[in-house]
């Protein structure tokens, strides 16, 4: 009895009508829809896909072509007082040559990195994972520390939004453990 009630409650929370009303008609970003419905943004993302509701194109506002004052300060702070090594200097100027903000680079591990030094989680060379950025643009906020973006078809460079799934670290680890287990059982 209790279980049934809980299940109905969750299903009612993410019903089609409410989702459609908030996301499509009122045009709210996913993170805001999640907040108003009292569910995680990952659930909103998954249910939009489940219900076949077309998700909007990634919000490109994240990808400003010029540095904001804040970003300049961050970048300045990062390099202030440091003697930038020759290697870093070359990397920085290469990044500029390769096309500046927003240009992509395939990494040796198969993932695609995108040059975006304004991003709070960009590495020391100014790059961030493209799949993270695509998801952030989709949901309209930065990823939390316990969130991870999974490639459904296992292709690390396939960053189409249909191929990406927002998961918790725990859920993601569980999924891959299960996959590994299944692979082992087949053999």
- C-beta closer to Zn ion: residue 150 or 161: 150
In this chain, which stretch among 5-13, 98-106, 117-125, 147-155 interacts with Zn ion, using CB under 5 A?
147-155
Cα–chain center distance at 164: 8
What's the token pair of residue 31? 């993170």
Phi, psi (deg, nearest 5) at residue 148: -145, 150
User: Looking at 150, 158, 163, 168, which residue binds Zn ion (CB under 5 A)?
Assistant: 150
CA–CA distance from 162 to each of 5, 45, 93, 131 (Å)? 32, 11, 34, 11
In this chain, which stretch among 55-63, 90-98, 103-111, 143-151 interacts with Zn ion, using CB under 5 A?
143-151
Applying CB under 5 A, the site for Zn ion has a residue count of 1
The nearest distance, CB 131 to Zn ion, in angstroms, is 10
- C-beta closer to Zn ion: residue 41 or 164: 164
Q: Show the CA angle centred on residue 106, arms to residues 62 and 99, nearest 5°.
A: 55
- C-beta closer to Zn ion: residue 104 or 150: 150
**Nearest Cα residue to 67 out of 110, 21, 16, 126:** 126
The nearest distance, CB 174 to Zn ion, in angstroms, is 11
> Which residues 100-119 are close enough to bind Zn ion by CB under 5 A?
none
Does 142 interact with Zn ion (rule: CB under 5 A)?
no
CB–CB of 35/24 below 8 Å? no
Q: Pairing between strand 127-129 and 112-115?
A: antiparallel
- C-beta closer to Zn ion: residue 101 or 113: 113
Residues that bind Zn ion (CB under 5 A): 150
């Amino acid at each position: 009895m209790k279980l049934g009630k809980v299940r109905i409650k969750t299903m009612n929370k993410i019903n089609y009508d409410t989702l459609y009303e908030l996301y499509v008609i009122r045009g709210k970003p996913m993170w805001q829809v999640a907040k108003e419905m009292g569910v995680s943004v990952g659930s909103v993302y998954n249910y939009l896909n489940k219900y076949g509701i077309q998700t909007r194109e990634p919000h490109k506002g994240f990808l400003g072509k010029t540095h904001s004052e804040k970003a300049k300060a961050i970048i300045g702070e990062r390099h202030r007082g440091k003697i930038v090594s020759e290697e870093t200097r070359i990397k920085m100027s290469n990044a500029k040559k390769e096309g500046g903000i927003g240009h992509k680079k395939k990494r040796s591990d198969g993932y695609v990195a995108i040059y975006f030094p304004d991003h709070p989680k960009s590495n020391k060379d100014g790059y961030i994972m493209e799949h993270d950025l695509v998801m952030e643009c989709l949901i309209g906020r930065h990823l939390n520390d316990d969130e991870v973006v999974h490639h459904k078809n296992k292709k690390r460079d396939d960053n189409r939004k249909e191929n990406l799934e927002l998961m918790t670290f725990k859920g993601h680890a569980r999924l891959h453990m299960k996959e590994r287990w299944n692979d082992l059982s087949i053999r």
